[in-house]
Chains A and B, each alone.
Chain A
Amino acid sequence: MKDLFTTGEAADICNVSQQTIIRCFDAGKVQGFRVPGSKFRRIPRSNLIKFMKDHNIPFGNLDSGKRKVLIVDDDAEIVELLVDVLTRDGRFEIKTAASGYEAGIQTQQFRPDLILLDYMLPDVNGNVVCQTIRKNPEFEHIKIIIVSGVVKRDEINQLLKSGAEDFIKKPFNITELTDKVTTVLKMK
């Protein structure tokens, strides 16, 4: 996670011109310091966040430090449950999708780090979603965990071959789920 930003970086994040940031900096609207011995301005993370909040600038481009997880399941209650579990954990930024199609869109927009993918979706097999994501080089880094109530042994192997990192069977222990997520994302 990035702790210190240059004015240029801050400008990118706020979607404004560098000049604007400099003026704000000089006006004291955004707190920071100068690198000793130079004219370069530096803005600490928390100050930038405060600045953005004060001016209602959307946090879209700011890396919150949380891992992005996309939950894909057509059962609304299950989605709610999983969102709750991961939110309470606190380390995750979460978005949801209820179909293969929505999952596609969200993956494109949200750029998750991990997808919790239900196998049985109304429009398309989870398998297919998996393969599609894997095919796209842009999403190379995205990890996938398949979640399902009914999958047979041989099908699980097939899924792992299609590009899923891991598999968890419903109903599961929520700690077990969190463990799998953190392991796959190499968080600890």
Chain B
Amino acid sequence: MPGKTADATVARQVELAINRLDSISILPCVGARFLSELNQFQLSPQSLTELIECDPGLTAKVFSLVHKEGQNFPDNNLSIRQAIDKLPLRLIRDAFFSINVYSAFEQNKERALFRSQLVLHAIATACCARKIAETVQSGVNPYLAYLAGLLHNIGNLALDQEMPRSFTQILEEAKSQDASICDVEQKYLGIDYTTLGKRLAQKWHLPNSVTMAIWLHHSNTVTVSQNMPEAKIAQVLQLADILARQAGIGRSGSYDTAEVPEELVQSLTITSEQMDQIRENLSEQVAIKSKIAGMDLPDTATAYCNAVHLAAAQLAKDNTTLSQENRRLQTASGQFDFTADFLLSINPDNTALDIAENFAVRWQKFYQTGLVCLYLAADTTSQTLEAVVVENQSQRKTVLLNAPADSPAIPPEIANSFALLDAWGHADWLFEQLDVDFEPGKTRLVPLLSGGRTIGVLVFEFRYPTDAEKLEEKFKASALIAGSVLDMAFTAQKQQHFAEQFAQLVISSPAAAPRVSVPAPAKEPPAITEPALSAAGNMVTALAEMAAGAAHELNNPLLVISGRAQLLGQAETDPEKKRMLKQIQDNTTEITSIIDELMSFANPVPPRPAQTGINQILEEAVELASQKANVEHINTQMEFSDDLPPDVFVDSAQIVSAIANVITNSVESYTGDLGPIKITARPEQSGNFVKLQIADLGCGMDEQTLRKATYPFFSGKPAGRKRGMGLAHAARFIQLNKGMLDIASRPGGGTTVTILLPVHN
């Protein structure tokens, strides 16, 4: 190629070649440094930033990463540090691994050395540029200036990487001719490193000003920046380049004399003293940087290799750990899905056997087993066991098994705790009864526990017996869940049965129901089930039940007593004896009427309400009361309000009877002369009821008596006088007719009974 001048095609070829570059290779020392810090987990953002800022390749890569991630720099805060903070570390690490490290192994040491000199020159230019920018206060961002300096010769670095032989020849020419490298490049390639640098800068989305600086730093920057103030940075760069060359730090590739143009000095308004100062301090600064980059270390290539090995090993280990963790999580997730699906598929109507079938099918599918048999053994006394057999998804059936005669259905080892057992030897009785064949050696069984007690056993054919032990934990978890759910289903079933039996007891009237066939002619009374009574709660209903039960049992003995007494009486001549026998008979009649009262109280005729006149009701009630109380005339005072509705909607016979009872009580509350009984009627507030009040000034009731006033058979009077059903009946009838009864009383101060009767239906 030397000797042959360039033309446009060559330039284009070069450009294309350079454009293919993904990144600028980094020096091995930098690589080693980075890796060693990575391996020791010492990669703080600060140290990382510093390291990157020592290497053009890394710096460029960071910028291209930032762009790729779609991140934006906040306006004036363009810096590597910012980039590091924004990008995830793993991204940087991965990017790092994708960059080539300048492989100095094959080529001669001289080349490697030259490359590091190029980089050194870049660093020097960078430091210089920053210093200049700081010194002259020309509106150029010192940091950007630094970056521009660091990256100004990426074009050369690229050429060195991509076209090493041509680059070597160019260098030799430049050296022999004392020429600037730019000119030589132009001559032979038709393009120089500034243009190439610009291309790369654009490709990797370096900051605009940096790009501009790279492009223009060998041109007539003074003129350019006069027209484009933003190109001032190019001036800075140009000066920095020259000063760095003058300081003799690193190699730029150019061999012409490094002189600072006068107009440049003037344009930047920098003094010679300043420039001298900068030049003097430069080597010190560069030394710091090169130390960070590890450039002073010997045998960096080997160090790098070792570091790479270490890093690879670490990553491999991490990878294995992650894979294991991943697998573990996957199986855990699978287990979770299994459990969740199972639980979601259950609905409250399922019987325990349904759930067992459901679970057995799922178990087979999830654990990829062969035959599965789940038998339920919650009731240890039962002779039969329910079981479900699953051959495959579509072939399943429920069977009834006979509990083994000589051994417990649940093997003792798993009666209270979990264990994975070999089925053979523990479930022979089961295999005998089933018509499917479980494969010996591959069959296992697990208990389904709930609350520390086994309620069922799952027997399954496991295709991979060696793995069975590994899965023991999982089996345990699944079995526990199934156990709990099944137990709950059992409990629900039991409660349902109990409720059904219970409902039978409460609902069916013992009178109408035929007696349960009892072989012995024993006359024991029917078991009055206490729970049925207390559950019914209401005392009246309880009484009804008892009355119905007792009544028909009492009548037979009563007939015997009465009948015999009658017969004896017929045959008897002695009048005294006859009298006594009559007494027996009469008393049985009395007992019978008490029973009848109880029965009618217990099973009252349903009311047949109709619109009835209040006047009429009260008249009839008074009439009836005078009969009951055996009094010719009751002293009543009636008072009706004007706005009283004429009718109430009640069964008149029942209400008349009820009111008559109340009035009778009032009559009887007068111990001496019969006092007045005031009866008032007025509409009640809401308008839905009529409020009747029957008030007397008789003996009244104390609190105790008042409380029990409406209890059947309770009488505040001396025993024997009345049966004490009056108020009980009254209350009952009024309640049946959808009315209300209230009693207010004071000992010695009379009683007022308030009755509300509905006006409408």
Instruction: Please give the residue numbers on chain A whose beta carbons come within 8 Å of chain B beta carbons, in ascending order.
Output: 74-78, 81-82, 84-85, 88, 98, 120, 122-125, 148-153, 155, 169-175
What residues of chain A lie closer than 8 Å to B589, measured between beta carbons? 171
If A149-B551, A149-B552, A150-B552 touch, does A173 touch B558 (CB 8 Å cutoff)?
Answer: no
What residues of chain A lie closer than 8 Å to B563, measured between beta carbons? 78, 81-82, 85, 171, 174
Write the chain B residue with the least CB distance to A98.
Answer: B521
Contact B560 A81 (CB under 8 A): yes
Contact B599 A150 (CB under 8 A): yes
Asked if B228 is an interface residue, CB under 8 A from chain A, the answer is no
| Interface hub of B523, B560, B589 (most chain A Cβ within 10 A) | B560
**19 additional contacts (CB under 8 A) given A76-B521, A120-B515, A149-B556:** A75-B556, A77-B556, A78-B556, A81-B559, A85-B563, A88-B567, A122-B517, A122-B518, A124-B514, A149-B553, A149-B559, A152-B511, A152-B512, A171-B558, A171-B589, A172-B559, A172-B562, A174-B563, A174-B570
Contact B514 A125 (CB under 8 A): yes
Count A/B pairs, Cβ under 8 Å. 78
A172–B596 CA distance with the chains assembled, in angstroms:
13
What residues of chain B lie closer than 8 Å to A175, measured between beta carbons? 566
A76–B554 CA distance with the chains assembled, in angstroms:
15
Asked if B548 is an interface residue, CB under 8 A from chain A, the answer is yes
Asked if B555 is an interface residue, CB under 8 A from chain A, the answer is yes
What residues of chain A lie closer than 8 Å to B317, measured between beta carbons? none
Write the chain A residue with the least CB distance to B553.
Answer: A149
| Interface hub of B548, B555, B558, B561 (most chain A Cβ within 10 A) | B555
- How many residues in B have their beta carbons less than 8 Å from beta carbons of A? 31
Given A75, A153, A155, A172, which contacts B512 in the complex, CB threshold below 8 Å? A155
Contact B552 A171 (CB under 8 A): no
| Interface hub of B555, B556, B562, B570 (most chain A Cβ within 10 A) | B556
| A1 CB, nearest partner CB in chain B, Å | 27
Interface residues of B in 596-625 (CB under 8 A from A): 599, 603, 605
A113–B523 CA distance with the chains assembled, in angstroms:
30
Write the chain B residue with the least CB distance to A75.
Answer: B556
- Closest 7 A-B residue pairs measured CB to CB? A149-B555, A150-B552, A171-B559, A171-B558, A170-B555, A170-B559, A81-B563
Contact B512 A122 (CB under 8 A): no
Asked if B59 is an interface residue, CB under 8 A from chain A, the answer is no
Per-position binary interface string of chain B over residues 147-179, scored 1 when its CB falls under 8 Å from any chain A CB and 0 otherwise: 000000000000000000000000000000000
| A152 CB, nearest partner CB in chain B, Å | 7
Write the chain A residue with the least CB distance to B521.
Answer: A74
| A99 CB, nearest partner CB in chain B, Å | 9
Interface residues of B in 535-573 (CB under 8 A from A): 548, 551-556, 558-564, 566-567, 570
Asked if B592 is an interface residue, CB under 8 A from chain A, the answer is yes
A82–B556 CA distance with the chains assembled, in angstroms:
12
Given B521, B570, B592, which contacts A171 in the complex, CB threshold below 8 Å? B592
A152–B518 CA distance with the chains assembled, in angstroms:
24
Contact B514 A171 (CB under 8 A): no
| B583 CB, nearest partner CB in chain A, Å | 15
Per-position binary interface string of chain B over residues 491-533, scored 1 when its CB falls under 8 Å from any chain A CB and 0 otherwise: 0000000000000000000011011011001010000000000
What residues of chain A lie closer than 8 Å to B551, measured between beta carbons? 149-150
A17–B725 CA distance with the chains assembled, in angstroms:
72
What residues of chain B lie closer than 8 Å to A155, measured between beta carbons? 512
Given A81, A151, A152, which contacts B567 in the complex, CB threshold below 8 Å? A81
What residues of chain B lie closer than 8 Å to A170, measured between beta carbons? 555-556, 558-559
| A81 CB, nearest partner CB in chain B, Å | 4
If A123-B517, A170-B559 touch, does A81 touch B511 (CB 8 Å cutoff)?
Answer: no
Per-position binary interface string of chain B over residues 313-337, scored 1 when its CB falls under 8 Å from any chain A CB and 0 otherwise: 0000000000000000000000000
What residues of chain B lie closer than 8 Å to A153, measured between beta carbons? 605
Write the chain A residue with the least CB distance to B519.
Answer: A122
What residues of chain A lie closer than 8 Å to B518, measured between beta carbons? 122
Contact B564 A81 (CB under 8 A): yes
Asked if B238 is an interface residue, CB under 8 A from chain A, the answer is no
Contact B555 A152 (CB under 8 A): no
| Interface hub of B523, B552, B559, B561 (most chain A Cβ within 10 A) | B559
A172–B555 CA distance with the chains assembled, in angstroms:
10
9 contacting pairs across A/B (C-beta < 8 A): A76-B521, A78-B563, A149-B552, A149-B559, A170-B555, A171-B559, A171-B562, A171-B592, A173-B562
A170–B511 CA distance with the chains assembled, in angstroms:
14
A169–B33 CA distance with the chains assembled, in angstroms:
116
What residues of chain B lie closer than 8 Å to A98, measured between beta carbons? 521
What residues of chain A lie closer than 8 Å to B554, measured between beta carbons? 149
Write the chain A residue with the least CB distance to B603.
Answer: A152
Contact B514 A77 (CB under 8 A): no
A47–B564 CA distance with the chains assembled, in angstroms:
38
Per-position binary interface string of chain B over residues 562-593, scored 1 when its CB falls under 8 Å from any chain A CB and 0 otherwise: 11101100100000000000000000110010
A61–B599 CA distance with the chains assembled, in angstroms:
47
A54–B599 CA distance with the chains assembled, in angstroms:
57
Write the chain A residue with the least CB distance to B552.
Answer: A150
Given A74, A84, A150, which contacts B511 in the complex, CB threshold below 8 Å? A150
| Interface hub of A85, A150, A174 (most chain B Cβ within 10 A) | A150
| A20 CB, nearest partner CB in chain B, Å | 44
What residues of chain B lie closer than 8 Å to A149, measured between beta carbons? 551-556, 559
| A123 CB, nearest partner CB in chain B, Å | 6
Contact A173 B556 (CB under 8 A): no
A175–B566 CA distance with the chains assembled, in angstroms:
9
What residues of chain B lie closer than 8 Å to A169, measured between beta carbons? 555
Contact B566 A174 (CB under 8 A): yes
| Interface hub of A78, A149, A171 (most chain B Cβ within 10 A) | A171
What residues of chain A lie closer than 8 Å to B548, measured between beta carbons? 150
What residues of chain A lie closer than 8 Å to B570, measured between beta carbons? 88, 174
A119–B635 CA distance with the chains assembled, in angstroms:
49
Contact A75 B523 (CB under 8 A): yes
What residues of chain B lie closer than 8 Å to A124, measured between beta carbons? 514
Write the chain B residue with the least CB distance to A176.
Answer: B566
A73–B755 CA distance with the chains assembled, in angstroms:
47
Contact B559 A78 (CB under 8 A): yes
A123–B564 CA distance with the chains assembled, in angstroms:
27
Write the chain B residue with the least CB distance to A124.
Answer: B514
